[in-house]
Amino acid sequence: PRPPLVLLNGDDLDYAKIRLDPRSWDTALGALSGLPDPITRAVVWNTARDMVRDGELAPGGYLRAVRAHLPHETDLAIVQGVLGFARQQIADRHLPPPDRPEALAGLTAVCRDLLDRTAGGGNPGLRLAAARGCLDNLTDPGE
């Protein structure tokens, strides 16, 4: 029987543009933050990024994945990369201007969730990335 997630290059040993079949994509989106290996999670995030760039994933779909999974991420490089792409590419370039404030508010909420989760000081790098993300995504000076 076929497993629910077939991920080529899951160890990121090759330079390859990865695509997932619909079943694997649904599984990956449902379980992304629970995948135990950070390299595997990075491959899935990079696949999502490439799909947005190629017009195969709507920008809103990427943002939904960010909201669902990034608050649980433990790898600093993934957090920085995903937040950077979500802000600089999705919010600033791929969304229509009327949708931008909602996207930025969602990214700010993700960063606040990361700040709350790291409040004990266990991961200062993640905390700093989350704080910077909050500042980058604010749209109201009163926030």
Kindly state whether residue 101 falls inside one of the protein's structural domains: yes
Average pLDDT estimate for 93-99: 95
17 lies in some domain: no
Element holding 74 (H helix, E strand): none
Task: Identify whether 11 is part of a domain.
Answer: no
**Residue 93 lies inside a defined structural domain of this protein:** yes
Residue 4 lies in a domain: no
Q: Taking a C-beta distance cutoff of 8 angstroms, is the pair 83, 133 a contact?
A: yes
pTM of model > 0.85: yes
In a domain, 13, yes or no: no
Cα 13 to Cα 4: distance, rounded to the nearest angstrom: 22
Tell me if 48 sits within 8 A of 17, measured CB to CB: no
The percent of residues above 90 in pLDDT, for the chain, comes to: 70
Specify if 108 maps to a domain: yes
State how many domains the chain has.
1
Question: Is 30 in a helix, a strand, or coil?
Answer: helix
Amino acid identity at 135? L
- What is the domain extent for residue 61? 22-137
pLDDT digits (tens, 9 = 90+) for 59-72: 999 999 999 999 99
CA gap 8, 40 in Å, rounded: 10
Question: Is pLDDT at 13 greater than 70 in this prediction?
Answer: no
pLDDT of residue 128: 96
Residue 143 lies in a domain: no
- Which amino acid would we find at residue 110? V
The first and second tokens of residue 130, run together, are 């989350």
Give the tens place of pLDDT for each residue, 124-134.
Answer: 999 999 999 99
